[in-house]
Amino acid sequence: MKAMFKNLAVSALVFLTASCGFAQNTPAIAPDFTVEDLNGRSVSLSDYKGKPVILLFWTVSCKICERELKSLPAMYADIKNSGVEFMMINIADPKYRVENFLSTYGLDFDVLLDKEARAAYSYNIPGVPTYFVIDKNGEIIAEDYTFPAAEYKRLRSEAGGAAAHE
């Protein structure tokens, strides 16, 4: 009797693991959102329809975010010329704190303000920093806590940006 329950439990675990794995490998359509940039201009993900996009959700108080953001300037010019849109979305920090943070570290990034964390909520982010890689069809193809270099290279190549021919 114990063996039967053990086999049933193992079968259920294998089924659930396979089901979860299948669900995670199925591309999801990236939820649209509208937030403001540091100049108060509204920006929506749908503004970039047909283009590959990398989203980075972050906060000022996150030490891992700080380390991640400080590593990006070396790549930022390449990213801006690649044909891949890069959207850095700050979650719920006041504008002045974001500006002070960027100024302190000499970071010249285009930043979007998710003032009420609605965009972050729609992506169900598990923590910060979190990157989402979205292909030109609007499907989320990767999620990571560090810069998704392999996916970026692939998207940049597909986008045919200036950096694609290195």
At which residue do the structure tokens 């937030």 appear?
Answer: 35
pLDDT in tens, 103-133: 998 888 889 999 999 999 999 998 999 999 9
Q: Which domains does the chain have, with CATH numbers?
A: 29-165 (3.40.30.10)
Taking 60 as the threshold, does the pLDDT of residue 139 lie above it? yes
State the pLDDT at residue 13.
35
- The model's pTM is 0.80
Q: Give the pLDDT band of residue 161 (cuts 50, 70, 90).
A: low
pLDDT in tens, 44-69: 999 999 999 999 999 999 999 999 99
Q: Give the pLDDT band of residue 21 (cuts 50, 70, 90).
A: very low
89 with 114: CB under 8 angstroms? yes
Q: What is the CA radius of gyration of the chain?
A: 19
107 with 140: CB under 8 angstroms? no
State the pLDDT at residue 25.
56
